[in-house]
Chains A and B, each alone.
Chain A
């Protein structure tokens, strides 16, 4: 796909200006359970010291209720909450949104643009955390180095609340 795209004249012209990009695919598994709620999910990039380098996505119940727009349950995304989720003023444009259905969720991020921002060269981990009402919780981590000199496809596999998490890095 990428090779094909790059061969088009328009993109070739644009290539020098194209910033490095980082594509994330999060698979939310189809679960055969009596009571299913879409998972609360957070996607972020962690530095080696576990500090947050970038908040990439946050999916939670948006519907207004007496208890608020689902923000009451955000601490259930325990690791995300502690590592920086609680520092956010929600909603965050381009980051927070409604919960997603089962299936592959594709996210694209570009170096220098929000929400990825200018990611300094270094070692990082892509972290995806999911927690589901009446269900479980899971964290999947994909370590990577940034920037990359060649196109790289990295992945890790969840076992319960998350399926495959793929990270495609382009120079």
Chain B
């Protein structure tokens, strides 16, 4: 029932992640994470939903998409399309190495009351001033920076796409994220504004949730160096996520900054 109520504000809700994070997960799902041959392509689905990885709620916004090629430059996705429940795009992997695919949602979220009605607004910081009517009450402004990623490697993995931007929560591999094997521990580091994000809870959920009853959620906590480790119980696609908030805002009206990171990782059988 909660789901049904939430659905009404569908698009708005996804925009409001991580507020909506407990119910809806934003994800990308690549058709493969290891490719080879002279002309490799992958196709990727992107959506927000509760179950993983079933596009049954709202599509992801592809204007948030940035693909970083192994040489650190931006690569262009092709055949992008946004449908009812999912967005999809293809990626032509013209360089050897690891590509980083990221949906980055950065902006300002405001809640306020106007004429006795609760209102919500989100958008760019620059548009904030004109967006909230004069006389609005209980104005609460938050800044947000949410990142959702996945990785695809053509041939041998590389590190060129992982140079942190220094903004928000970011993942730096210790174990290569396209080299994950069931039963083997994998480690990564989370950075917050480029520095180790210590003491953050990271959750991992295996895909194919429709075909089991247990949520099968694993948890790990980042150490002082931002590092965390997960051991994958079985092969499959996993969704990992972490979120935090602080007061380091860059928009003066905002009191709070909300940050989240999520990634889809493929785990292969030994």
Bound Cα distance from A71 to B96, whole angstroms: 14
- What are 10 contact pairs spanning A and B, CB under 8 A? A67-B38, A68-B37, A72-B37, A72-B38, A74-B36, A75-B36, A82-B181, A82-B268, A86-B34, A86-B155
Say whether B40 faces chain A, with CB atoms less than 8 Å apart.
yes
Query: Using a Cβ cutoff of 8 Å, how many contacts connect chains A and B?
Result: 38
> Which residues does chain A contribute within 8 Å of B36, judged by CB atoms?
71-75, 81, 86
Q: How many residues of A contact B (CB 8 A)?
A: 15
A49 at the binding interface (Cβ < 8 Å): no
Closest to A82 in B: B179
Q: Is A78 an interface residue (CB 8 A)?
A: yes
A79 within 8 A of B: yes
A73-B36, A74-B36 given; 15 more Cβ-contact pairs under 8 Å: A67-B38, A67-B39, A68-B37, A68-B39, A72-B35, A72-B36, A72-B37, A73-B37, A74-B37, A75-B32, A75-B34, A81-B34, A82-B179, A82-B268, A86-B34
B9 at the interface (CB under 8 A from A): no
A67, B37: Cβ atoms under 8 Å? Answer: yes
Docked Cα-Cα span, A96 to B40, in Å, equals 21
A68 touches B270 (CB 8 A): no
Q: Are B38 and A68 in contact (CB under 8 A)?
A: yes
Interface string of A39-75 (1 = CB under 8 A from B): 0000000000000000000000000001110011111
Q: Is A87 an interface residue (CB 8 A)?
A: yes
Interface of B is mostly: loop
Chain B residues whose C-beta falls within 8 Å of the C-beta of A74 in the assembled complex: 36-37
A82 / chain B contacts, CB cutoff of 8 Å: 34, 179, 181, 268
Question: Does B8 make an interface contact (CB < 8 A)?
Answer: no
Residues from chain B with Cβ under 8 Å of A139 in the complex: 270
* B residues near A72, Cβ cutoff 8 Å: 35-38, 40
- Judge whether B156 is part of the interface by a CB distance below 8 angstroms: yes
Residue B22 CB within 8 A of the other chain = no
- For the complex of A and B, the 7 pairs showing the least CB-CB separation, nearest first, are A72-B37, A68-B38, A68-B37, A75-B34, A71-B37, A86-B156, A74-B36
Give residues 129-162 of B contacting A (CB, 8 Å).
Answer: 155-156
* Interface flags, B232-270, vs A, CB<8A=1, else 0: 000000000000000000000000000000000000111
CA distance A68 to B36 in the complex (A): 10
Which residues of chain B (50-76) have a CB below 8 Å from chain A? Answer: none
Compute how far the CA of A86 lies from the CA of B156 in the bound complex, rounded to whole angstroms: 6
Chain B residues positioned under 8 Å from A81 (CB to CB): 34, 36
8 A Cβ contacts from B168-225 to A: 179, 181
Q: Which residues of A contact B37 (CB under 8 A)?
A: 67-68, 71-74
Q: Are B270 and A79 in contact, with the CB atoms below 8 A?
A: yes
